[in-house]
Structure formats: C-alpha cells, structure tokens
Amino acid sequence: MTLRTLSLLALLTATPAAAQNIGDGFRCPGPEDLPDVLITVGRTDMLSELLGEPVEPDRTILHVQMIGDGADLPLVPHAPFDEAAVAGCISEHETPFDRVAFGEGLDEYRRAVRLDEAGLFNIPPAEAYWLTLGSLPDGDGS
C-alpha cells in the first residue's frame, strides 16, 4: 500500500487521542499474553505535511521508538503511528530512548516517504511491535 492509501485508512479509524508531546512515554498493553511495549514519542508531524498536500481532516502522526518490557527484547528505533493508535496506551514516566537510533530510523522513513514507499501504523503500538518481530500472525493466516 502507498502512503496515500494508508492515509485514507487512517482517516477512517477511531477518534484521535489528545496530542502528545515529544518525549512523552507510554506503556501499551501486549496482545495475546505477550509483554507490554514501551513507546517514546520522538517527533510529531501532521499527515498533510508528510503527504505534501492538504488532507481533511488532518491527522497527527506520532514518530515513536518501541521496546518490549522485558529482558533482552529488541528496540524498534522508529515507527510512525496515527495518533489514534496510542489511545489504549497509558502514560509512563520513564521510557528508554536511543536518540541516535531514532534519528537514523526517521531519516530512513523520510527517504521512503519521498519515494512513496512508506506507510504508517493505525493499529495499537504493542501489536505493531510484536508483528514487526514476527511474534504475531499478520492477519492473512500466516
């Protein structure tokens, strides 16, 4: 799917949560008895800014870093989410954040956006984390 297709899907999702601040941390409940996931907001953008064209209604995109809450669980340095996707997460005061890894992931994402090869998540962050690691089926029976 292209970013434009995913943006349309994002517009049709749940009501957005309140705007988040850079540096805010959250605990997102893990799906299917998997550990919770900690996320930290590293940047926010408006969907129209990412697309380079007006979008009505416009949506806030949260660029987050994710890590599973447990020993030796890997870091996902950057993942873009529609703001509504974090609605089920709870504020967490101390979440880890690797600024260098996040910056590299954000740069890679920006390059992909320019090539129309990027999307964004509109599912809960914990679900996206475990799907990224291959610990959950991707919804197509695999």
pLDDT digit string, tens, across residues 101-129: 999 999 999 889 888 898 899 999 999 99
Token match 């989410």: residue? Answer: 81
The pLDDT of residue 139 is above 80: no
Better-scored residue on pLDDT, 50 or 132: 132
Better-scored residue on pLDDT, 87 or 12: 87
Instruction: Write down the pTM of the prediction.
Output: 0.79
